[in-house]
Structure 1
């Protein structure tokens, strides 16, 4: 079901950049379980509402957040390492695509450049896409190579900062050979929506519609990538060359 419709029906993308976690591959439950295991390994109790605050956050920043919210700042690096180790083990055992992801990627594949912009390490994205049978459809994968989004640093050549900085989406559009304003981002987290919007891409948000002040940050919200209206719009734009 389309829950918001603005200017997208009159516009067609020249490239599409997808988030991976929670957008293409159902890994958020693995991150949740990995966080639970990491907390448990250090004898810590997850603070109320932590799962929502951690959604879409780079794993190193998540480790820092886990440490800060449990008053154990000295454990930030150890928690981040444990989080990634548990996640990799979980996703290797149980890769599942999100509803509609395969259909949408196949619809677009070969007709325009496709890329992935993710906060996950490259090996995680490659593993997830490979096991889901989607890797061959993407010409580019962009992941952070730089510092924490909380560091306040400016962008430097060769440094790609994690979401919510715009770097991963701006870089993905450039690699696809299009201006950011000509590209579409597909995202499930508000962190990712902010990143794509700051980069200048139009954005489709996927999942339950958030509060209105957050919903307006995307051009469109759909419950799943199987939304018939979304597939019809993308199909018409691709067929029309738009």
Structure 2
């Protein structure tokens, strides 16, 4: 398989922000009286945050529903965490550098809104690292729909089948597979033994193992 571009998810791949999302969701939703548990919020990992809010409203409706307001409240808590404590996940900065050393195009395809993208890239000093950045923020459908990945491939001028996507969530993995891309799953350790990751072409413990996968492909 010929690979010309590597596309990175952001939350849970570049930066360990998934716990911050889950904590923020628990705080905001439970202030609204939903009484969610950690297991509950783990069900929606990888979904765009407005879709998460809609998901829970359909299942446990609350009065004075305002999706935008609830979404904003959650996102503000996540941004505060990123700017104060956000750290690059193991091996990810080296993985990006390795892609560039091989002359591969590098893209970012995320469900997060642009103000969170900006916070992450500023915190990790990656403002100039990506050849294309695509968000599902304003798309009709976020992940697991493949559009954000297809848009990123188009922005890079690389056919989707010549892209390798790196994901930590099952919803994101489904999106990348639906886009006909090669895939790497790097799930959170406590989910790593779940049988569902079998749909990924490769599963890694963390991005320090990325070079071993890249060596298996023909690179242009």
TM over 0.5: yes
Q: CA deviation at 1:76?
A: 5.1
Per the alignment, in what secondary structure is the counterpart of residue 128 of structure 1? Answer: helix
Whether the aligned pair in 2 keeps the contact of 1:27 and 1:95 (CA below 8 Å) is: yes
Moved more, 29-38 or 201-210: 201-210
Which residue in 2 is equivalent to 1:89? Answer: 80
1:160-206 deviation line (CA, Å, top 9, x unaligned): x3111110111111111111000000000000001011111110000
Whether the aligned pair in 1 keeps the contact of 2:166 and 2:185 (CA below 8 Å) is: yes
Which residue in 1 is equivalent to 2:205? Answer: 223
Per the alignment, in what secondary structure is the counterpart of residue 144 of structure 2? Answer: coil
Task: Calculate the TM-score normalised by the size of structure 1.
Answer: 0.81
Whether the aligned pair in 1 keeps the contact of 2:26 and 2:38 (CA below 8 Å) is: no
Whether the aligned pair in 1 keeps the contact of 2:26 and 2:41 (CA below 8 Å) is: no
Per the alignment, in what secondary structure is the counterpart of residue 15 of structure 2? Answer: coil
Whether the aligned pair in 1 keeps the contact of 2:46 and 2:111 (CA below 8 Å) is: yes
Matched, 1:64 2:54: yes
Cα 1:236–1:163 shift into 2, 3 Å = closer
Q: CA deviation at 1:48?
A: 6.1
Q: CA deviation at 1:86?
A: 1.7
Q: Distance in 1 between matches of 2:27 and 2:38?
A: 16
Q: CA deviation at 1:210?
A: 4.7
Matched, 1:141 2:133: yes
Per the alignment, in what secondary structure is the counterpart of residue 142 of structure 2? Answer: coil
After superposition, residues 193-208 of structure 1 pair within 5 angstroms as 193-207=173-187, 208=191
Cα 1:217–1:233 shift into 2, 3 Å = closer
Whether the aligned pair in 2 keeps the contact of 1:118 and 1:142 (CA below 8 Å) is: yes
1:111-155 deviation line (CA, Å, top 9, x unaligned): 2110100000012112102211222110111012222xxxxxxxx
Cα 1:215–1:44 shift into 2, 3 Å = closer
Please list every run of 5 or more consecutive structure 1 residues that lacks an aligned counterpart in the other structure. 1-10, 148-160
Query: Over aligned residue pairs, what C-alpha RMSD do you find?
Result: 2.0
**Structure 1 runs, 4 residues or longer, greater than 6 Å off:** none
Q: Distance in 1 between matches of 2:9 and 2:42?
A: 17
Q: Distance in 1 between matches of 2:139 and 2:157?
A: 23
Say how many residue pairs are matched: 214
Whether the aligned pair in 2 keeps the contact of 1:14 and 1:182 (CA below 8 Å) is: yes
Name which of 126, 130, 133 aligns with 2:122.
Answer: 130
Q: Distance in 1 between matches of 2:34 and 2:8?
A: 34
Which residue in 2 is equivalent to 1:209? Answer: 192
After superposition, residues 46-61 of structure 1 pair within 5 angstroms as 46-47=36-37, 49-61=39-51
